[in-house]
């Protein structure tokens, strides 16, 4: 079974540009989460989808970040316009809907560098 | 609000030593606690997952314990090897609705010296 995949693995853009990160969860996982680790900080939660609905977006830093999950399958996280402080590693995770005790499976992350 | 701390922040040991990494969390209402490993420039590798009803989990040279009532977990690494050098992250998943996310600790950076 394929794990959580993320694309691209690394993105280098200039300040002010737009970048879109993609996450493909494990097939059948209704829960999808975005996290990020910026330089020197802990990994922080950004938001949580249940199918196509945003369940919790309390961690989104500002309105330059837009997450979508049309159709309840893959998700995209767009940063527009990107700022220097957005540099870091963006992780996606997914979890089955049924049961609260099951594990979140993390993807390999996308390393974003804003110059 | 759930907070996760890890001690020590950094640790350097000679090869072959046994070592313990510590994790503390403030809210005991958790589904599970997970230990991850992160190598420089790489993603997260899940090491051990302990459900809230469990006391410990073992995988090879790794043993993780959980004392939910006191809000503590330890990761024991036996006979450390240079390949164990990495950052070790502790993370909890809370039960309360607003906590349906994984809260990570800051990590312990481990260096095993040959």
10-residue stretch averages of pLDDT, chain B, 114 residues long: 93 96 94 92 89 94 96 97 96 74 94 96
Q: Given this model, what pLDDT does residue A57 score?
A: 92
Contact A55, A46 (CB under 8 A): no
Pick A100's closest partner by Cβ from B31, B104, B106: B31
- The pLDDT value recorded for residue B99 is 55
How far is residue A107's CA from residue A105's CA, in Å, rounded to a whole number?
7
B1–chain A Cβ distance below 8 A for any pair: no
Enumerate residues 6+ apart whose C-beta is below 8 A from B113. B12, B13, B14, B15, B82
Answer yes or no: do B31 and A56 touch at CB < 8 A: no
β pairing state of A19-24 and A75-79: antiparallel
Residues 38-97 of A with CB under 8 A from B: 42-45, 48, 55-56, 58-59, 89, 91, 93
Q: How many residues does this entry show for chain A?
A: 115
């Amino acid at each position: 079974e394929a794990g959580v995949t993320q694309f691209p693995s690394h993105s280098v853009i200039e300040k002010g540009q737009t970048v879109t990160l993609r996450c493909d969860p494990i097939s059948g996982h209704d829960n999808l989460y975005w996290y990020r680790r910026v330089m020197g900080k802990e990994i922080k939660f950004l938001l949580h989808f249940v199918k196509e609905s945003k369940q919790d977006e309390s961690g989104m830093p500002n309105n330059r970040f837009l997450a979508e999950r049309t159709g309840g399958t893959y998700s995209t996280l767009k940063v527009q316009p990107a700022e220097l402080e957005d540099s870091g590693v963006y992780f996606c995770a997914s979890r089955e809907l049924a049961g609260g005790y099951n594990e979140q499976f993390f993807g390999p992350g996308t390393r974003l560098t804003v110059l | 609000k759930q907070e996760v701390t890890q001690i020590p922040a950094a640790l350097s040991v000679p090869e072959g030593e046994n070592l313990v990494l510590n994790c503390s969390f403030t809210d005991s209402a958790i589904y599970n606690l997970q230990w991850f490993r992160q190598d420089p420039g790489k993603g997260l590798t899940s090491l051990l997952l302990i459900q809230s009803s469990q006391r410990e989990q073992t995988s090879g040279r790794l043993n993780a314990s959980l004392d939910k009532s006191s809000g503590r977990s330890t990761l024991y690494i036996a006979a450390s090897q240079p390949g164990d050098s990495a950052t070790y992250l502790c993370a909890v998943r809370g039960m309360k609705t607003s906590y349906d996310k994984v809260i990570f600790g800051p990590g312990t950076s481990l260096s095993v010296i040959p």
